Structure 1
Amino acid sequence: MKTIISLLIATLITTPALAANQEVQSFSKAKKILEKQVYNNHRTTLYCGATFDAKKNVTPPSGFTTTKYVKRAKKIEWEHVVPAENFGRTFSEWRDGDKQCISSQGKAFKGRKCAEKVNTEYRYMQADMFNLYPAIGAVNALRSNYNFTMLPSATSDFGSCAMKIDNRKAEPPVSARGRIARTYLYMDGAYKRYTMSKTQRQLMTAWDKMYPVDTWECARAKKITSLQQSENNVLKSRCKSVSIW
């Protein structure tokens, strides 16, 4: 019996954490965990560096402006850096619906709500905390599901916050590019359903090299690893390379 127990313990110790989220499948729960246990001592948004309080009220940086979604600019929202639609459309429930996706009025529906209702794998991907970051609501709304690229001719849509959006594309501020790149690389490696285009991979690989990890990015990764019980091998390797893991 002792031998069996010892083998079980050894297995638990040596078995690596999964490379994809298999712990949290509720998007709402994921957001609450991030608010209370990850960003509780680092309440700063990804794109604009705005601060926010425990009630999600935003204090925008000096010079921040927006003419759209003004009410949403007062609160933070949790942004899927890799948009949910980018992986969601690989699910048949998103594209075509499902027999279980019938509203209370008897109407069939599809898209994100149907995938979330029916497919457990989709819920895990949607709730993966490595892909969720706080953003000013208006910025989240205007970024929408647009891919990231470089927009040299565009000007900022948000005053002092250098987030550019033009022609259904977005260019993030320099301060966010490394974190965005490593999030894309993580999602591409962790989930077979999601694959970056060649152009997107080239950009993210370049940003990953140009904008290395910092102490907060590594601390965030450690917290999420513990809470989600899954590894972000991209971040772990980058953090180890600079001795902050």
Structure 2
Amino acid sequence: MYRFSRYGLGASLLALWLLSCSLFAAPLSFEAAKTQAREQIYHDRNALGSLYCGCSWEWTGRSGGRPDLQACGYQIRAQPNRAQRIEWEHIVPASLFGQQRQCWQQGGRSNCKRTDPLFNRMEADLHNLTPTVGEVNADRSNYRFGVLPSAPMQHGRCDFKVDFKARVAEPRNAVKGQIARTYFYMHDHYDLQLAQQQQRLLMAWDKQFPVSEWEHLRNQRASTLMGHDNPFVTGTRYWTLHHRNQADGLKSVTVKPASKESAAHAGVRGNRRSQLYHLPRGCPGYGQIGENNRVEFGSEAEAMAKGFRKAGNCR
């Protein structure tokens, strides 16, 4: 009796430990990253404002939100639907790091998501994600950052300027330092190329706008999930012109073809309506889930942690 109880307790503790690991682990997909960012980084920040405009929002759905445009003096420029929702923006655009990958040249973002583990890791990096008003996310596009002293603000009181012809955007002063240190991190961690002109500008912003209390807290929360911090926030690493990237993010990425075992557990797909998940192999319903009900997971553990269970017809 004692032995049964002892091992039963041990098994229970092990199960709890495995569950906690799945809850506090680096996301393997952009969809998973958005959910984690909402639940464990920005869960208590929606009243304190979005990155570019400082607009508060109400959470909706699994990872989205509805901004209070009136309260922050936001005026819709051209896209009312996107202006009415909070979106997750990559501070360093996905196209910027994607275009430096071979997969992008052979089929764009969708091909990278299917074939390149490193692209998926970069796309899901929580240090690079931030909630923004959707229209501003669209207007920023993948433009480089710059200084636009004569450009007018086109979104009401939102202190965000964009020159569509020159493909340049200027954010408000309060977030310029955070943006600079995110750029340094992404380029250093994933060994990306950064133009000298952009380096000089971001170095100036980094010096002029030091790390805020929120940026420190944001870094701590993201670090808990990612397993590493942004050293340009903590001050353990500094960017200088002609910086030599440490490329820490490449050291744990294998370029070998995925094994049968890993392939069977990659790309787990859930059905939001039935709360069932399917594997890419052995589950007949994998390709039959409509886009509106589809939820992508990086592993079975992640799906189970979100309350999904394996479909009964999986072989």
TM superposition score category, shorter chain reference: 0.7 to 0.9
Residue number in structure 2 paired with 1:79 = 89
1:119-198 mapped onto 2 (5 Å cutoff): 119-166=116-163, 167=165, 168-192=167-191, 194-198=192-196
**What is the rounded CA distance, in whole Å, between the counterparts of 1:174 and 1:159 in structure 2?**
17
Residue number in structure 1 paired with 2:44 = 41
- Structure 1 residues 62, 50: closer, same or farther in 2, change over 3 A? closer
Matched, 1:236 2:234: yes
1:3-18 mapped onto 2 (5 Å cutoff): none
After superposition, give the CA deviation of every residue in 1:191-231 in whole Å (9 maximum; x if it has no partner): 11x12100101111100110111111100100000011122
Residue number in structure 1 paired with 2:202 = 204
Matched, 1:32 2:29: no
SS of the equivalent of 1:57 reads: strand
Which amino acid is the alignment partner of residue 173 of structure 2?
A: V
Instruction: Say whether the 8 Å CA contact 2:54–2:72 is kept in structure 1.
Output: no
**What is the rounded CA distance, in whole Å, between the counterparts of 1:153 and 1:85 in structure 2?**
28
> 1:159: how far off?
1.3
After superposition, give the CA deviation of every residue in 1:89-128 in whole Å (9 maximum; x if it has no partner): 11111112xxxxxxxxxxxxx1001101110000001111
Q: Which runs of 5+ in 1 are unaligned?
A: 1-21, 97-109, 239-245
SS of the equivalent of 1:199 reads: helix
TM-score by length of 1: 0.80
- Structure 1 residues 203, 187: closer, same or farther in 2, change over 3 A? same
After superposition, give the CA deviation of every residue in 1:47-95 in whole Å (9 maximum; x if it has no partner): 0001112211111243211221111111100111111111101111111
SS of the equivalent of 2:235 reads: helix
**What is the rounded CA distance, in whole Å, between the counterparts of 1:67 and 1:231 in structure 2?**
36
Which amino acid is the alignment partner of residue 179 of structure 2?
A: I
Residue number in structure 2 paired with 1:12 = none
**What is the rounded CA distance, in whole Å, between the counterparts of 1:217 and 1:173 in structure 2?**
15
> 1:25: how far off?
2.0
**What is the rounded CA distance, in whole Å, between the counterparts of 1:90 and 1:132 in structure 2?**
19
**What is the rounded CA distance, in whole Å, between the counterparts of 1:82 and 1:138 in structure 2?**
17
Which amino acid is the alignment partner of residue 197 of structure 1?
A: A
State the aligned residue count: 204
**What is the rounded CA distance, in whole Å, between the counterparts of 2:202 and 2:161 in structure 1?**
17
Which amino acid is the alignment partner of residue 184 of structure 1?
A: Y
Instruction: Say whether the 8 Å CA contact 2:27–2:36 is kept in structure 1.
Output: no
